[in-house]
Amino acid sequence: MSHDPLDAVLPNYIEFARLKGPKEATTAVQRFFSSEYATLEHFVKKFGVDLTSFPGFYLEVGAADVPTGPIVSGMVKPILVLQQSKTGKNYTPYIMKHEGFFNMDQTRAWVSATSWDEHVKDTLTAELKDIARKERDRQERMMKHAERKADRDVPKEA
């Protein structure tokens, strides 16, 4: 089996933050939207879900190459997952759990990105890798074609 460098490009872990109360939920939303100005109301407007209704739940806030330690392993639960409708206009909250890692006070958790994508049937990572592989293959074909053309265009010495 050949090693594809694209497999090492994407993060290894999905990171979650625990929603203990409004303060932690706001911090999680800011990380989720990558903006210090994001509020709980922004989350409600975007997804139709009030995070203050889910105290103690974990919310996906990003990705990481490695968990930040010290850590312990265990079942990350409950995880709040928002499933998008087929129309893309609505989101339905689901409660899930998954084997992963916690920091010592269990305010943050990490699960394997590959196994999480399989668990929630998220194909985005696979699709991104597929697009990148196709583009890389296209560029390699173009380069080989250009090299062959250059070899044909070089005058032969007598």
Per-position DSSP letters for the chain, written without gaps between them? -PPPGGGGTS-SEEEEEE--SHHHHHHHHHHHHT-TT--HHHHHHHHS--GGGSTT-EEEEEEESS--SSEEEEEEEEEEEEEEPTTSS-EEEEEEEEEEEEETTSSEEEEEHHHHHHHTT--HHHHHHHHHHHHHHHHHHHHHHHHHHHHHHSPPP-
Residue found under tokens 């210090």: 36
d(CA 15, CA 114): 13
Provide the pLDDT for residue 42. 95
- Digit-by-digit pLDDT tens for the chain (158 residues) are 456 666 666 678 899 999 999 999 999 999 999 999 999 999 999 999 999 999 999 999 988 888 988 999 999 999 999 888 888 788 889 999 999 999 999 999 999 988 887 767 665 556 666 777 788 888 889 988 888 888 887 776 65
